[in-house]
Amino acid sequence: MKKAIVLLIVGGFAAGLAAAPAAVPQKQEKQPAQAKVFIPKEVKDPMMAGLAARQARLDIPFTVFKSLFLPAQQAQQLILFLKVKNADLGFAPAIAPQVADAAVAAQPKMQARINLFLQFHKVENGAPTQLVKEVYIPAAFEADQTGFNPEAEEWYSVGYPLMPGSYLASVAIASPDLKKIGIQYYEIALPDAKSFTQALDTTPLFFIKDYKQESQAEMKPELHKNLFAYSVIRVTPNIDNVFKVGDALDTFFFIFGVQPKDGGKYDIQIDFEVYQAEKLAIKFASGVFENPLVSLPLQLKQTLLIKKGDEERTETLDLPAGDYTFVIKILDKVSGLKGEKKIDFKVI
């Protein structure tokens, strides 16, 4: 099953990971036929005003708390993660449609509509310079009224492909009438895959809770709740790296710098280890991979040597609650290059 996720993603690249975003008109104002306005003046002006100093605006409070990137043909698919309270997103009771089914009518909903705007500026010597992309993403979300908590903070994601380089992302959330605007700034560096000639590296490590296949890759960027889109899959990550005792750890990453053999396949050896402080807690069997895109579930179980008097026996137990570090050690058996990466996680 886990080999399938790699095949799905590789196949999905042929469709492209994103197309040009739709333009949004400025409030009833007629634009020349050739002009496309991705960010209206009411939003763009404050985005640009706070750009140099990275000065946030919090009419709509939110944070950009994390980012990932994954390969997207010659580019990198940048994924930004946002957190915002339900109340600040503007959830309100939806107007119930007239339906014949009484059971459907009896399920009241909360609804929120927002506009998300992105700007990407190149960064040189720590300062934003050339504007590279502007993106407009309309979004709508729905939730059951029963149990709805306006103070709950939810997370969302948005992805966009960019060429390698350093960027300052300007992220704005605006109400439909553009009267309330939240703005945050987030700096990222996307590596050039061709630059890894002396050592191996990976995309940021993360863990998967679940994934779902779609019929095609996302053709326009969307704002997603509790998942992110990549190629033809929708991934639910373990966003806080917290596991319960007995859970499996499912890691996902791409390796930069590996060289293919004749015929196009790779010969990659990876050692997976878990440490608690400086003590080795689990050493998994080495894995051999023929593709630099790796998805692998690992059972968090320890094999312990139990001594009782003159008797010795082994016992396999779930990894107990505590703070741990997951370590991957990579060897490209074609080039001889090596790499190592770590990520912390918690078991409760």
Please indicate, yes or no, if residue 309 is contained in any of the structural domains. yes
Please indicate, yes or no, if residue 302 is contained in any of the structural domains. yes
Which of these, 135, 13, 12, lies nearest to 75 by C-alpha position?
13
Among the three residues 213, 248, 265, which one is the final residue of a domain in this structure?
Answer: 213
Distance from C-alpha of 155 to C-alpha of 180, rounded to nearest angstrom? 20
Please indicate, yes or no, if residue 13 is contained in any of the structural domains. no
pLDDT attached to residue 16 = 43
Domain match, 132 and 257 both: no
Q: Which two tokens stand for residue 28?
A: 């009833």
pLDDT attached to residue 197 = 93
Distance from C-alpha of 77 to C-alpha of 292, rounded to nearest angstrom? 16
pLDDT attached to residue 32 = 43
Boundaries of domain holding 82 = 35-89+108-213
pLDDT attached to residue 311 = 77
Domain match, 209 and 255 both: no
pLDDT attached to residue 33 = 44
What is the count of structural domains for the chain? Answer: 2
pLDDT attached to residue 102 = 58
pLDDT attached to residue 312 = 79
Please enumerate in sequence order all residues whose Cβ is within 8 A of that of 205, keeping only pairs 6 or more positions apart, or say none: 251, 252, 253, 326, 328, 341, 342, 343
Domain match, 178 and 271 both: no
Please indicate, yes or no, if residue 137 is contained in any of the structural domains. yes
Q: Which residues of the chain have pLDDT under 50?
A: 1, 13-35
